[in-house]
Amino acid sequence: MTSNDVFTQMGVSELIAPQLRNAARAARAGDTGSAMTHAWLFSGPPGSGRSVAAVAFAAALECSNPEVVGCGQCEQCRAVRNGTHGDVVHIVPQELSIAVATMRRDVIEPAATRPTVASWRVVILDNADRLTDGAANALLKTVEEPPKHTVILLCAPSTDPQDVMPTLVSRSRHVYVPQPNTKEVARLLMQSDDVSEEIATLAAASTSNHVGRARRLVRDPDMQRSRARTLTLAEDVFRGDKAFRNVTAMVKEITKVAEQGLAEASEAEVEKLRTALGMGASGRGAQKALRGSAGQIRELEDKHKKRRTRAVRDALDLALVDLAGLYRDALIKAVDSNVELMHPDFQQLSEGLCQRVSPQGLSACIEAIMKAREHLGMNVRPETALDAMVGRIRLACGVSE
């Protein structure tokens, strides 16, 4: 048993860690026969930590510790964990779909180059379910005949043909990453963020054990405030038009936070493209290049706009899932079930709801929220979708004008 290697440190489930340790050891021994292979598919629901497992595996492959394969401490391991390793490319697509051109530039080209400092060129592709058919086909060639020193790690929600093209699945080794439970996520947070068990458990429960979101909730006061504001909506619906005013504020705030999160990365990308195109340089050649490149800059800005829209929509959707969880908590109280609450710190509010609103009313509230999520998915303006939702919730709660 390896007690404290990079897999343990990063909280990778012991259900899959042994297989990855074996593969990394075989890779170091130069045995790419059975334990090790060039293409892997990590599948698991969002928040299961599938890309964390892929990063830990990449670290183990690049590790230079002569004793422990994947020590988590050496320079190589640390660089992979920090996302600064020169031979590891980690792509996290933000758009709804990954096009062929993006695929070629970000995945296939880097995959074809030899590693420079460590033993392997590792390409990690998150959200591989967003590949267009064309992009998946383009990738297939690399997966079928990978360069000798290249390892491709795909991450996707499942191996379902709807998520990943079957030919891609059949040519990769599949690792199913199980969804961790509340206790496991809490333990991870206590380790990584040095928080109390109570705070860690609360963060895990209220994000349905989504590792990344739970971590953000622990770290980010903005997110804590935003969650509290969302859940308090259930109280606001009883107070005149307060809920209507608050959804407007809520949409504004969520939009701001989502945009801030993306702005820096987007600016950096535009800057990089400008440099690559020779903009900012002077001379006749540069002037000529400049004229042709305006279109490319516009294209990139267009891409960023789509990314922003998606980020805002995702953030709003998660807020609505939070709110639905509160009504679910109230329903659980109503039937006196022993199921764990999603928002134990808002227990007073869910108890109050349970006393004020009938179980049918509570179900209708949840339906109203699901309807709003549907509307957001159909690109209805967020303010409009949430206003309609508040109206329906008020009706379900028997609030008269």
User: Does the footprint of Zn ion cover residue 32 (CB under 5 A)?
Assistant: no
Half-sphere exposure of 264 (CA within 13 A, CB side): 4
CA dihedral 274, 280, 286, 290 (to 10 degrees): 50
Pick the piece of the chain touching Zn ion (CB under 5 A) from 13-21, 56-64, 123-131, 335-343: 56-64
Taking the C-alpha atoms of residue 384 and residue 391, their distance in angstroms, rounded to an integer, is 11
First to last CA, the chain: 65
Which of 37, 65, 224, 296 binds Zn ion (CB under 5 A)? It is: 65
What are the phi and psi torsion angles at 123 (to 5°)? -115, 115
How near is the Cβ of 75 to Zn ion at its closest, in Å? 8
Give me the sign of the Cα torsion angle 177, 178, 182, 184.
negative
Per DSSP, which regions of 113-172 are E strands?
A: 121-125, 150-156
Nearer to Zn ion, 26 or 257 (CB): 26
**Residues 72 to 91: which contact Zn ion by CB under 5 A?**
74, 77
Q: Report the C-alpha gap between 356 and 296 in whole angstroms.
A: 57
Distance CA 256, CA 190 (A): 29
Residue 88 backbone dihedrals phi, psi, to 5 degrees: -115, 120
Structure token digits, residue 344: 């134990």
Shortest gap between Cβ of 71 and Zn ion (angstroms)? 4
Cα dihedral sign, 160-166-168-170: positive
Stretch that binds Zn ion, among 58-66, 79-87, 210-218, 393-401 (CB under 5 A): 58-66
Least Å from the CB of residue 236 to Zn ion: 52
The size of the interface with Zn ion (CB under 5 A), counted in residues, is: 5
Give CA angle at 348 (196, 325), nearest 5°: 80
Instruction: Give the nearer residue to Zn ion in terms of CB position, either 74 or 156.
Output: 74
Residue 223 structure tokens: 């997110």
Task: Check binding of 122 to Zn ion (CB under 5 A).
Answer: no
Backbone phi, psi, residue 143, to 5°: -70, -35
Q: Which is nearer to Zn ion, 71 or 234 (CB)?
A: 71
Binding of Zn ion at residue 56 (CB under 5 A)? no
- Alpha-carbon gap, residue 200 to 196, rounded angstroms: 6
- Cβ proximity to Zn ion: between 63 and 311 the closer is 63
Tell me if 2 contacts Zn ion by CB under 5 A: no
Residue with tokens 């440099």: 275
Q: Shortest approach of Zn ion to residue 41 CB, angstroms? A: 24
The nearest distance, CB 327 to Zn ion, in angstroms, is 47
Residue 125 is a binding residue for Zn ion (CB under 5 A):
no
| Cα(114)–Cα(117) distance, integer angstroms | 10
Task: Rank residues 4 and 170 by Cβ distance to Zn ion and give the closer one.
Answer: 4
Using CB under 5 A as the binding rule, whether residue 137 contacts Zn ion is answered as no
Among the listed residues 71, 165, 204, 319, the single contact to Zn ion using CB under 5 A: 71
Residue 89 beta carbon to Zn ion: minimum distance, rounded to whole angstroms:
19
Residue 175 within binding range of Zn ion, rule CB under 5 A: no
- Least distance CB 215 / Zn ion (angstroms): 23
Which residue of 61, 63, 152, 312 would you call a contact of Zn ion, by CB under 5 A? 63
Contact window for Zn ion (CB under 5 A) among 49-57, 71-79, 208-216, 336-344: 71-79
- Residues of this chain that interact with Zn ion (CB under 5 A) are 63, 65, 71, 74, 77
